[in-house]
Amino acid sequence: MLKLYASFSTSVRTHPWTDPMAAIRVVRLFAPLLAIAGLRAYATSPPSTTSASPLASDVATIQQAAASMHPESSFSVDPKRLKSALAAVPARPLAGMSRDEAWLNLSRLNPVLADGHFFVGYPSWRDEAADHLKDGGRLFPFEVMVSNDGAVRVVANLGGAPTPLAGRTIRSINGVSTRTITNELLRHVHGDSARFRSGLLSDRWWFFYWKVYGAPNDFVIGLDGSTRTPTKMAASSAVPAVIAAEQSFERQFALELRSEQSAVLTLNTFAWPNAEQFKTFAASAFEKMERAGTRTLIIDARRNGGGDDALWLEGVLPYIADKPYRWASTYTKRVLRTDPAKGEVAGEVRSGSIDTWSTPDPKQPHRFRGKVYVLIGRTTYSSAVLFANTMHDFGFGTLVGEGQSVRRKQSGGVQKIDLPATGLSLWVPRFILTPPAGDKGYWLTPDVEISDDGINPGAMVEAVLKRASADQASGAASPLR
């Protein structure tokens, strides 16, 4: 969520602390962990402490940031539980502690923080991976899917190339049960829920395995099936699929015109850096659908981790909306800088309503007038949740897929804070947005639940198209609506 597309009516809740903003300075813009564009990065001076432990020093910084930057940390974590988790971080006065060792300790806070925008991580996991591969390092050889019950299945070779092993369940890695490995890795993953964290681990298994268990040149992997003897397999030097896809417009966005007057519009991110390129693509897509007489549109946002709201507010909604809409109803934000013109004082917490509504252009020549279905998944997040909320709450589309993974009410305006003692970083949100329809439902929940097959992602698309086609043929009102 990069921009606040609204004017606010505000009330003010002020929270006391001792000059929490004095140590914070802007250093640069940063590309985020969930592919959210344009986060602000901050550095903090180490707080005074008598402990020689780098962990204790950065724990103090985390405590300070949670109190002085988050608008309401209890949004995702009970304050007593957070205090207990911070106190449980071991105070290790080891002068030679590596950054990886520090991460192994501090990242255990992430499931406790329970928010995809509030976590401890590396300054850039992408750069971390790039440097590792550049230096001749290797990674786990497969892209995988981690199910909600902890099972791990092969999806493809690392990087996305097909493998005949796709669909096979991995039973063990280097003599360790995969369930044991999964449970350990999930202790370091961030996100709103266990389901979300399993989805995120699926995309970054190679990263978390590397950081927790190391990166050997070979793996002994046990698979299910007729041949159950573990097999020695070489590690991979391929660029992981999640990173490679970010560089390709065609892997992020696509339009597929299908038979029976249907189409699939894939939107895998809203973080594409060239907004005009996306809007040109979207305009062309809706024009093509109009020429093809498309009556059923599926928007696939299952893998969309968010980004800049402008992409969907200016590139998608103008072709779908048939009534005035807004993308949220209320907000709570932490003021970072004093602004006399707005009557804002750094450090205060403001809450209010979002009063800006967008009105569709009645002369829009390529408005889509058919049925719209939005596919959501375990890791649909951030701005993509705002998009799904808007589509659902104003009746612009039907949500289909998996739910109970991320909150409808989203945090945002993420700030990156350096943890100077360990070289790690803390991400913390500065605002919280309530959906257009208000606090109706905690989790983002589909109108129609269909399980996502990570090995065959097209299965959900086919299921929706089959139902929509049958309804059109019978002339019945679609039960998916």
Q: What's the CATH code of the domain at 448? A: 3.90.226.10
pLDDT attached to residue 350:
97
Residues 335 and 192 grouped into a single domain: no
Residues 254 and 195 grouped into a single domain: no
Residues 359 and 441 grouped into a single domain: yes
Q: Give the domain-ending residue among 90, 121, 152.
A: 121
Residues 227 and 315 grouped into a single domain: no
The number of domains in the chain is 3
Q: What is the DSSP string of 99-137?
A: HHHHHHHHGGGHHHH-BTTBEEE-S-HHHHHHHHHHTT-
- Whose tokens are 């019978």? That residue is 474
Q: Give the domain-ending residue among 218, 236, 254.
A: 236
DSSP state of 169: B
Mean pLDDT along residues 438-448 = 95
pLDDT digits (tens, 9 = 90+) for 197-206: 999 999 999 9
pLDDT attached to residue 473:
74
Banded model confidence at residue 223, pLDDT cuts 50, 70, 90: very high
Banded model confidence at residue 53, pLDDT cuts 50, 70, 90: confident
pLDDT attached to residue 54:
78
pLDDT attached to residue 226:
63
The predicted model scores a pTM of: 0.90
Helix (H, G, I), strand (E, B) or coil at 419: strand
Residues 101 and 199 grouped into a single domain: no
Is residue 432 pLDDT above 50, yes or no?
yes
**Residue 3 domain-assigned (yes or no):** no
Residues 443 and 318 grouped into a single domain: yes
**Residue 86 domain-assigned (yes or no):** yes
**Residue 286 domain-assigned (yes or no):** yes
Percentage of the chain exceeding pLDDT 90: 81
Pick the closest to residue 91 from 105, 80, 81, 104 (CA basis): 105
Pick the closest to residue 284 from 316, 312, 260 (CA basis): 316
pLDDT digits (tens, 9 = 90+) for 119-139: 999 999 999 999 999 999 999
**Residue 169 domain-assigned (yes or no):** yes
Cα separation, 117 vs 425, in Å, equals 12
Q: What is the CATH number of the domain that holds 152?
A: 2.30.42.10
Q: Is there a contact between 102 and 55 (Cβ–Cβ < 8 Å)?
A: yes
Cα separation, 438 vs 455, in Å, equals 36
Residues 171 and 211 grouped into a single domain: yes
Beta strands in 54-201 (DSSP E): 119-121, 142-146, 152-157, 170-173, 176-177
**Residue 403 domain-assigned (yes or no):** yes
Cα separation, 163 vs 232, in Å, equals 16
pLDDT digits (tens, 9 = 90+) for 323-346: 999 999 999 999 999 999 999 999
* Two tokens, residue 423: 């070289």
Domain residue limits at 403: 245-411+430-474
Residues 294 and 405 grouped into a single domain: yes
**Residue 448 domain-assigned (yes or no):** yes
Is residue 302 pLDDT above 90, yes or no?
yes
Residues 326 and 435 grouped into a single domain: yes
Q: Give the domain-ending residue among 192, 214, 236.
A: 236
Residues 116 and 180 grouped into a single domain: no
Q: What is the residue-averaged pLDDT of the chain?
A: 88
**Count of CB atoms within 10 A of residue 162's CB?**
9
Residues 340 and 448 grouped into a single domain: yes
**Residue 417 domain-assigned (yes or no):** no
Residues 204 and 264 grouped into a single domain: no
pLDDT digits (tens, 9 = 90+) for 357-372: 999 999 999 999 999 9
pLDDT attached to residue 95:
59
Cα separation, 248 vs 411, in Å, equals 28
Q: Is there a contact between 310 and 332 (Cβ–Cβ < 8 Å)?
A: no
**Residue 12 domain-assigned (yes or no):** no
What distance separates the 2 farthest-apart alpha carbons in the chain?
Answer: 75
